[in-house]
């Protein structure tokens, strides 16, 4: 029988949620090698996810796309003023406690329950963009420095 | 002295750990419970229970060497402590006390 690999998504999820439990990940891989069942592996990973979420309910671990060392160092008070690049939040979530996966789940839920919401969101975004452009144009016209600079250049 | 009465799953894990001896790590413990208990076991639940038992000092653990068969990941071996053995005995005594003198269970051979 040909050996199959564990599902990549399940494996990525497992490495994310059980990053600090190397023996558990090793055990799951070992048992997967014996069983060769993707369904079994997915079931195990989802249980680990469930147990982890019940146990660490308050811990916020948004889906990170970039691991940046200063993100952890900045939590220490003496390192608050550390000079260096700021961590980049690529999880796309401005809301504490809701990471990238949470936003994906929210988006899916909205699409299923009320897909017409996306039109409202789109119109709102376009209206915001239009409002921003108009404000920038108005400020440019009223800016005395720019107006004077324009005259100097013209003269 | 604090009395430790275990849940059925904790009891099974401790007994499986004792049966496995020096080779008691997650996979072996789970297989032992599946074989003798006739139930499907989730490895994450085994580890959650083992960590709880370790916090209560009923088991100790040590990490072995990484092995290539597990993608370079180490095994974590568990061993029951004297407190754990005492907890198993106390739980057994409590279960037997509950078991006795129930007419419906007499003569069942269980």
B26-36 per-position pLDDT tens digit: 999 999 999 98
- What is the structure's pLDDT at A78? 44
Across the interface, whether the CB atoms of A30 and B30 are under 8 A apart is answered no
A23's tokens: 């023996």
CA distance A110 to A117: 7
Across the interface, whether the CB atoms of A22 and B44 are under 8 A apart is answered no
A contact residues 50-89, partner B, Cβ 8 Å cutoff: 50-52, 55
- What is the structure's pLDDT at B103? 87
- What is the structure's pLDDT at B19? 94
Q: Which residues of chain B have pLDDT under 70?
A: 1-3, 108-110
CA distance A62 to A97: 7
- What is the structure's pLDDT at A80? 44
Contact list, A30 vs chain B (CB under 8 Å): 27, 69-70
Q: List the domain range (segments joined by +) for residue B77.
A: 8-100
Across the interface, whether the CB atoms of B43 and A33 are under 8 A apart is answered no
User: How many folded domains does chain B comprise?
Assistant: 1
With respect to residue B3, please indicate whether it lies within any of the assigned structural domains: no
Over chain A (155 residues), the average pLDDT of each successive run of 10 is 80 86 90 90 91 63 48 46 50 59 80 87 93 88 56 44
How close does chain B come to A128, measured CA to CA in Å?
47
With respect to residue B96, please indicate whether it lies within any of the assigned structural domains: yes
Q: How many CB pairs under 8 A join A and B?
A: 58
Whether the predicted interface score ipTM is above 0.90: no
Across the interface, whether the CB atoms of B45 and A31 are under 8 A apart is answered no
The rounded Cα B12 to chain-centroid distance in angstroms is 4
With respect to residue B2, please indicate whether it lies within any of the assigned structural domains: no
DSSP for A118-152, written as a single string: HHHHHHHHHHHHHHHHHHHHHHHHH-HHHHHHHHH
CATH code: domain of residue B61: 1.10.10.10
CA distance B21 to B24: 6
Cβ–Cβ contact A46 with B under 8 A: no
Cβ–Cβ contact B42 with A under 8 A: yes
- What is the structure's pLDDT at B97? 92
């Amino acid at each position: 029988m040909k050996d199959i690999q564990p599902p990549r998504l399940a494996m990525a999820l497992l490495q994310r949620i059980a990053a600090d439990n190397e023996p558990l990940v090793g055990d799951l891989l070992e048992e997967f090698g014996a069983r060769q069942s993707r369904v079994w592996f997915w079931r195990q990973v989802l249980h680990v996810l469930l147990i982890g979420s019940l146990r660490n309910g308050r811990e916020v671990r948004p889906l990170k796309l970039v691991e940046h060392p200063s993100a952890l160092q900045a939590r220490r008070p003496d390192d608050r003023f550390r000079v260096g690049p700021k961590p980049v939040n690529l999880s796309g979530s401005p809301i504490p406690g809701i990471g990238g996966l949470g936003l994906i789940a929210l988006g899916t839920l909205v699409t299923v329950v009320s897909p017409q919401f996306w039109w409202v969101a789109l119109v709102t975004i376009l209206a915001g963009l239009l409002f921003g452009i108009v404000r920038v144009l108005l400020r440019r016209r009223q800016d005395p420095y720019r107006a004077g600079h324009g005259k100097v250049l013209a003269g | 002295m604090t009395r430790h009465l275990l849940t059925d799953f904790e009891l099974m894990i401790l007994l499986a750990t004792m049966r496995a001896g020096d080779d008691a790590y997650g996979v072996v413990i789970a297989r032992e419970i599946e074989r003798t208990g006739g139930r499907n076991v989730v490895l994450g639940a085994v580890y959650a229970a083992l960590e709880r038992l370790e916090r209560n000092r009923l088991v100790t653990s040590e990490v072995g060497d990484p092995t290539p068969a597990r993608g370079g990941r180490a095994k974590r071996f568990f061993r029951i402590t004297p407190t754990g053995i005492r907890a198993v005995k106390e739980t057994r005594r409590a279960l037997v006390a509950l078991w006795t003198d129930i007419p419906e269970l007499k003569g069942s051979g269980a």
